[in-house]
Amino acid sequence: METIAGIVTHVRKKPEEGGSGLYVVRYETAGGMVEAKASSRSLALEVGDWFLARGEWRPNVFRGRTEHIFNAVSVKPDLPATRDGAVVFLSRIFEAGRHGATPASIRAFVEAHGAAACRKAEQNPEILTGITSDPARFRGFILADWARRLSNRRAVVAMSKAGVDDHAIGRILEAYKDDTWKVLRENPYVVSRVPDVGFPNADKLGSDMGIPPGDERRIESAVLSALDRARSEGSTGLPAVRASEEAAALLGRDAGTTGQVENWLLAAAGRRDGPVRVDRSPKGFVVHLPEMLVAEAYVARRIVDMLRVPPAHAPERVSAAIERVFAGNRKFARFDAVQREAVRSAALSQVFILTGGPGTGKTTVTEALIAVLEDLGHRRIDLVAPTGKAAKRASAATKRKASTLHRRLLAREDKRTGGSMFGVNRENPLPAGTVLLVDETSMIDAQTMAAVVDALPPDGRLVLIGDPHQLPSVGAGNVLADLLSARTGNRPLVPSVGLANIYRQEETSSIARESRTVKDGKVPFMDNKVRGGLAFYEHDASGIADEVVRLVTGPMRTQLGLDPARDVAVMSPQAPGPAGTWDLNARLSAALNPGGRAIEGVFHGPRDDPKMPLPRVGDRVMATRNDEENDVFNGDVGTIVGVEDRSTEGRQRRVIKVAFDPDAAGARPKIVEHPVSRWRELILAYACTIHKMQGSQATAAVIVASGAHAGMLDRTILYTGWTRPEELLFVVGERSALEDAVSRRASDLRWTRLAEFVERAALECGFAPARREAARPAQAVPVTPGSSTPPRVVPPSVPGAGVPASLGGPPRVRVHPLPGSAPAAAPDAAAVRPEPARAVRPAVPRIVLPRPAPPSGPGFGG
């Protein structure tokens, strides 16, 4: 690799616009300053920045001619080492009006001090007064602007001296920009929370700057790093004992380290404005990041407030609406007793949860619920999902407009924290009377759920739909499972119905039946004979990828007539490693697109793993970012059909043309042009991670089970992948890996408290659910898709469940009235529109938890 030093003269594209930043620079050579273009993903540069970059020159075709761009692997602020460079650099900083400096005086200054002029000025800034004819007047401006320009240089010198790695240095400079040196001097440990930096790098810096091992700033940083790691693994907090142990491990297990951490946490327990919150739970003390504690506690309070609201409709009126709607729709008329009860309970409840595995009819029940709510007079019904792909599927299945949750709540990125800010909130809620139906709720984390309940109007209603046995959210929290498990005594607090019967697959299919076996923590019986659409092909780790390619390109295509690119979902728990998606995509691309042409401008950058396969013309690719302007969402799949040059406002750019698969059968593909500079937003899609497939379906699927993926493969991952195919599932790999996966469930290791907070909030306000018998699942009876015969249902022994209103409806739901309110009268059954349900929202949305009592002992073990 080569190294160049120079100055930025023009910013063509900033890194945050996607991909690398592109700059016009002048760099030092033996013959003087030379102009060129440079790209960098490691650090955002500004005009006037002097840099030292390491990288390599790569050819690029621009306006029909080949030019070379310097592709920087690392970039650091620096100072010029030649006379020409010093003149250019100082001329960018000092000017006549503010500093009394002219081109002639700057050149004279450099001639007097030589090629090292800038480095001399770094050591003794006073010599810079030599660039002006009036030092007394301009000295302050000269010294101030010089110090500002050198701020990052000092920070880089300090970080490099301490041994902070180059990538971390770039992220720190990007985060704090011109304030970097000031931040480091005040507290170098704050950089530990910058993405990709971490405690070890911050500790090197702190140690080099003379901060003692027992300093509170160091202990605080270790605790925060332990909590950040827990959040990245899905937990919203940690038991204090575990937080102490993990922080002590970061600090180094010297004698007394754990005690120092515990003392710091004990002090934090009495504060409400510190960097962490320490709260007492039935199982002991728990340590939280403030935002995570607030999120779960607020969700709990809002859910309980909604549970206390009297029903907007009398049960008799709901039953009548159901009969009207079902009588006019043959599909709904075939509902079993549990599906009917789900519609009835959801229509009666202010907040409700509908669960069920794939094929149990969640989407059809949702469609029926919307029709019943409209019959009851509701005009504001919003259907949302966490991802664009899930929203498209919900919209297609229900024939109702659906949007992403973030789009409906007007989310935008918070540049300071990297999180999301929502334009729809308690100050600007959804319209009065809104019923919000949230699909794929298992994918929603605690902070997003807090935004959902914050956006609801006082009379809003909430229906959560999902499968609690699928993968939990990527972000911290276990919202769906926690809400389902919240109880008072032996009764659930949040009304819910779980669907059981399978309707989507043939009665001979083993896929759905054995998915329940996996869900229950058992290993299904499988061998290499296809039975009920299910088979297992056993291979050791070295032979898995070859067998997957053989199955997909051989018998699945030639004997079963499946299109490997469109009908088959190949899934692996992770991207890197043997039989990971990178390995499988590279092999399948070579087999299915042997003549694919490389795309000029698509190459591995300094931060790319060289094993990640590059997309070529003809390849199947998946979008990894939402592009709402072109109606393309994360997870959408298409084919690269070409590469073209485009001229826009005098600038030429190269685009990748992708034909995205249509949402409806028979529709034409949608051609979208994607800038080559953002090629990383397109990944090969012959194989994908099971996380990426969540919320999607395929005709057939191949799942990899390898011991090499033990860190990722568990029961929820396996169950989620298992429930993606509709007709055929092949599992390829090691039986021992399959057995280990079924025996483990990583979501059980998440430490969350939403269920506890719901129970606590209900206890504090004296709420208890009415004694209402929940409908028991009807006995599963196979149903052949497309059959015109309604399924035979063995009705549960619940009075009125699934029975027409004329023969006696379900028992009336009783709820405790809000304090100070009169008992709610039943609404007039003849009314066309419902009266808004009475609701009380907390004046201050953040729940104030009881102040933890002073610890009784010296530690957190009791």
For residue 464, the domain's CATH number is: 3.40.50.300
Please give the Cα distance from 384 to 55 (Å, whole number): 45
What is the mean pLDDT of the segment spanning 501-524? 78
Confidence of residue 711 (pLDDT cuts 50, 70, 90): confident
Q: Residue 660: beta bridge partners?
A: 638, 670
> What is the residue whose two structure tokens read 């100070």?
820
Q: Which residue has the higher pLDDT, 498 or 412?
A: 498
Structure tokens at 274: 């510190």
Shared domain for 552 and 483, answered yes or no, is no
| H/E stretch holding 383 | strand 381-385
User: By CB neighbour count within 10 A (0-12 exposed, 13-18 middle, 19+ buried), where does 532 fall?
Assistant: middle
The dihedral built from the CA positions of residue 59, 61, 67 and 72, taken in this order, carries a sign that is negative
In this prediction, residue 27 carries a pLDDT of 92
In this prediction, residue 858 carries a pLDDT of 37
Q: Is residue 541 part of a domain?
A: no
DSSP 761-795: HHHHTT------PPPPPPPP----TT--SPPP---
Shared domain for 218 and 321, answered yes or no, is no
862, pLDDT greater than 80: no
The dihedral built from the CA positions of residue 590, 592, 597 and 598, taken in this order, carries a sign that is negative
Confidence of residue 664 (pLDDT cuts 50, 70, 90): low
In this prediction, residue 80 carries a pLDDT of 92
| H/E stretch holding 286 | strand 284-288
In this prediction, residue 839 carries a pLDDT of 36
Shared domain for 365 and 490, answered yes or no, is yes
Shared domain for 266 and 236, answered yes or no, is yes
Q: Residue 353: beta bridge partners?
A: 464, 496
For residue 9, the domain's CATH number is: 2.40.50.140
Which of 97, 124, 159 terminates a domain? The answer is 159
Confidence of residue 601 (pLDDT cuts 50, 70, 90): confident
In this prediction, residue 816 carries a pLDDT of 32
Shared domain for 263 and 282, answered yes or no, is yes
In this prediction, residue 349 carries a pLDDT of 94
**Residues in the chain, overall count:** 862
Structure tokens at 409: 């709540």
pLDDT over 90, % of the chain: 53
Domain count within the chain: 4
In this prediction, residue 12 carries a pLDDT of 85
Q: What tens digit of pLDDT does each residue of 759-789 get?
A: 999 999 888 776 544 433 333 333 333 333 3
756, pLDDT greater than 70: yes
pLDDT over 70, % of the chain: 85
Shared domain for 305 and 223, answered yes or no, is no
| Pairing assessment for the beta strands 687-689 and 568-572 based on DSSP bridges | parallel
Which of 677, 697, 717 terminates a domain? The answer is 697
Shared domain for 279 and 301, answered yes or no, is no
Structure tokens at 585: 């995509």
Q: Angle between the 290-307 and 754-764 helix axes, to the nearest 10 degrees?
A: 50
Which of 697, 732, 761 terminates a domain? The answer is 697
Helix, coil or strand: residue 287? strand
Q: What tens digit of pLDDT does each residue of 8-44 get?
A: 999 888 776 446 788 999 999 888 899 999 988 766 7
135, pLDDT greater than 60: yes
Q: Is residue 55 part of a domain?
A: yes
What is the mean pLDDT of the segment spanning 361-372? 92
> What is the residue whose two structure tokens read 């003379």?
210
What is the mean pLDDT of the segment spanning 116-126? 93
844, pLDDT greater than 60: no
Structure tokens at 715: 């029961």
Q: Is residue 142 part of a domain?
A: yes
Q: Is residue 348 part of a domain?
A: yes
Contact 62, 37 (CB under 8 A): no
Q: What tens digit of pLDDT does each residue of 311-361 get?
A: 889 999 999 999 999 998 888 988 999 999 999 999 999 999 999 987 788
Shared domain for 278 and 303, answered yes or no, is no
In this prediction, residue 842 carries a pLDDT of 36
HSE of 697 in the Cβ direction (CA atoms, 13 Å)?
Answer: 13
Is the pTM above the cut of 0.75? yes
What is the mean pLDDT of the segment spanning 446-468? 95
464, pLDDT greater than 90: yes
Q: What tens digit of pLDDT does each residue of 647-658 get?
A: 765 566 788 999
Q: Is residue 824 part of a domain?
A: no
Q: Which residue has the higher pLDDT, 674 or 505?
A: 674
Confidence of residue 61 (pLDDT cuts 50, 70, 90): low
Q: What tens digit of pLDDT does each residue of 685-698 get?
A: 999 999 988 878 88
Structure tokens at 619: 């390849």
Q: What tens digit of pLDDT does each residue of 782-831 get?
A: 333 333 333 333 233 333 333 233 222 222 222 233 333 333 333 333 33
Please give the Cα distance from 750 to 732 (Å, whole number): 29
In this prediction, residue 62 carries a pLDDT of 63
Confidence of residue 479 (pLDDT cuts 50, 70, 90): very high
847, pLDDT greater than 50: no
The residues, ordered by sequence, that sit 6+ positions from 144 with a Cβ below 8 Å of its Cβ are none
Q: Is residue 95 part of a domain?
A: yes
Q: Is residue 326 part of a domain?
A: yes
For residue 268, the domain's CATH number is: 1.10.10.2220
Shared domain for 567 and 484, answered yes or no, is no
Q: Which residue has the higher pLDDT, 18 or 67?
A: 67
Pick from 482-486, 499-503, 532-536: least confident: 499-503
Confidence of residue 675 (pLDDT cuts 50, 70, 90): confident
> Range of 589's domain?
548-697
Q: Is residue 508 part of a domain?
A: no
Shared domain for 154 and 137, answered yes or no, is yes
In this prediction, residue 404 carries a pLDDT of 86
Shared domain for 314 and 352, answered yes or no, is yes
605, pLDDT greater than 80: no
Contact 443, 386 (CB under 8 A): yes
Shared domain for 591 and 498, answered yes or no, is no
What is the mean pLDDT of the segment spanning 523-544? 91
Contact 201, 192 (CB under 8 A): yes
